[in-house]
Amino acid sequence: MSAAAPLAASTPPALEALLARIAALHPRVIDLALERMQRLLAALGHPERRLPPVIHIAGTNGKGSTAAYLRGILEASGLRVHAFTSPHLVRLNESFRVSGQLVGDDALIATLQHCADVNADAPITLFEMQTAAAFMLFATHPADVVLLEVGLGGRLDSTNVIDSPAACVLTPISLDHTEFLGTTLASIAAEKAGIIKRGAQVISAAQSPEAMSAIEHAAKRARATLHSAGEQWHVALENGRLVYQDDVGLLDLTAPRLFGRHQIDNAGLAIATLRALDGFDIATAAYERGIVGACWPARMQRLSQGALLAEAPHDAEIWLDGGHNAEGGRVVAAALGDLEERVSRPLVVIAGMMANKDATGFLANFTGLTRHIIAVPIPDRQGFDRPGAMTPQALADAARGLGLRVDLADSVPAALQALARLAYETPPRILITGSLYLAGHVLALNGTLPG
């Protein structure tokens, strides 16, 4: 059965039912441990040991964008790439790229069902089962490299069962998921640096001193070679160009299409990773094509067409970003500042967040850019309030505490319609943000299927 088949616009009922049965096997959605994963992989015949070279990616922000650049560059070089990323935005299939193509419904259902049958109703989390399915798909279809993104943390994440990854990549680390990873940057970085394996090439983005210290300690303990931004490699935007330099030489490339100055750093991290590895002879033209062609939905994504534009003020700009922590808010605010310098427009932020996030820390980044926040709920697929979502009232309280004007709306379309009734001299710039769950909901409402 081919892994790549046409995708429907909605999740097939058979897949929905299968996912529900798997989710019922373990009552805790997040339960960081490796024992269940190791048991299932052994029963499956250890597919994780039959993979092409693996590039393992951990960090707080930028994992998906970095993976998109890596995939773009590798595929521009003519290589076949498997990729497992999370979370998905609209459909689970987005998490599985098999030889460059999103997995088809039939192959995904068959593989998950096989893993579930082998598991035999033993306790396991849904993400662990999805990870096992990814390994099965990747082990049974040919490719040249695997891009493997950590789900949460690193040390006890279900992806951390690869004994000898070719590279361990660490994107910027900041405070997030403190209830699982610890309350300090040092403890969180130590958890994420737990992906580092003996003898691997370790490539790190620029980090805070606390995070870098933890990464350096883990690399030294594993006798792994560390390539750090600002030390072994450098990247910058110069005269509108991406300029990268390391001991091998200098690359002067077209800047990424993905918007925001942080994308320069993410692209640089991808370049540094591939230049640290033996066996990948990549031409300058492939680096450029891969970086320019990279696409990653809901990361400062301009919605230039789709159903939601009809709800918004005439000629308004609508931007979508799934940022949900203080550092994610900072990079999005910086991108909005760049937009404001180019073309000034009044900014309105439509926000919905999960209850375990720091709403004040996130929204504080926008206080110098806007005085208008609209708080909205995050619905589940059936249209009910998503479990664990912050109420719009609680989000509004956080915004008011920052001195921001706050309105509440029942939904994103209702928020856009309310803005359309206002009189703007200049059409507004609208940012929808605060959660990847909200971003996925917006893409579905807009009719934009990631692919």
pLDDT digits (tens), the chain, 451 positions: 457 554 445 688 999 999 999 999 987 777 889 999 999 999 999 999 999 999 999 999 999 999 999 999 999 999 999 999 999 999 999 999 999 999 999 999 999 999 999 999 999 999 999 999 999 999 999 999 999 999 999 999 999 999 999 999 999 999 888 788 888 999 999 999 999 999 999 999 999 999 999 999 999 999 999 999 999 999 999 999 999 999 999 999 999 999 989 999 999 999 999 999 988 889 999 999 999 999 999 999 999 999 999 999 999 999 999 999 999 999 999 999 999 999 999 999 999 999 999 999 999 999 999 989 999 999 987 777 888 999 999 999 999 999 999 999 999 999 999 999 999 999 999 999 999 999 999 999 999 878 6
| Tokens, residue 356 | 């375990």
The CATH number assigned to the domain with range 14-293 reads: 3.40.1190.10
Strand order in the sheet with 233-238: 233-238, 241-246, 249-254
Q: Taking CA 363 as the corner, what is the angle to CA 361 and CA 365, rounded to the nearest 5 degrees?
A: 85
Give per-residue burial for 36-45: e unless 16+ CB within 10 Å, then b.
Answer: bbeebbeebe
Give the up-direction half-sphere exposure of residue 182: CA atoms within 13 A in the CB hemisphere.
Answer: 15
User: What pLDDT, on the 0 to 100 scale, is given for residue 277?
Assistant: 96
User: What pLDDT, on the 0 to 100 scale, is given for residue 371?
Assistant: 84
Domain limits of the chain? 14-293, 301-446
User: What pLDDT, on the 0 to 100 scale, is given for residue 2?
Assistant: 56
Name the residue with tokens 């790229």.
97
Q: Is the peptide bond before 413 cis (omega within 30 degrees of 0)?
A: no
All residues at 6 or more sequence positions from 15 whose CB lies less than 8 Å from its CB, including other chains: 92, 105, 108, 109, 112
Give the up-direction half-sphere exposure of residue 302: CA atoms within 13 A in the CB hemisphere.
Answer: 12
Give the up-direction half-sphere exposure of residue 91: CA atoms within 13 A in the CB hemisphere.
Answer: 24
User: What pLDDT, on the 0 to 100 scale, is given for residue 181?
Assistant: 86
What is the C-alpha separation between 98 and 110, in angstroms, rounded?
15
User: What pLDDT, on the 0 to 100 scale, is given for residue 55?
Assistant: 98
What is the C-alpha separation between 265 and 237, in angstroms, rounded?
9
As a whole number of Å, the CA-based R_g of the chain is 21
SS3 category, 168 = strand
User: What pLDDT, on the 0 to 100 scale, is given for residue 440?
Assistant: 94
What is the C-alpha separation between 393 and 408, in angstroms, rounded?
8
What is the C-alpha separation between 84 and 137, in angstroms, rounded?
10
What are the strands, taking DSSP E only, across 342-446? 347-351, 372-375, 405-408, 429-433
Q: Round to the nearest angstrom and report the end-to-end CA distance of the chain.
A: 20
The CATH number assigned to the domain with range 301-446 reads: 3.90.190.20
Q: What is the dihedral of CA 53, 128, 151, 358, to 10 degrees?
A: -170
User: What pLDDT, on the 0 to 100 scale, is given for residue 238?
Assistant: 96
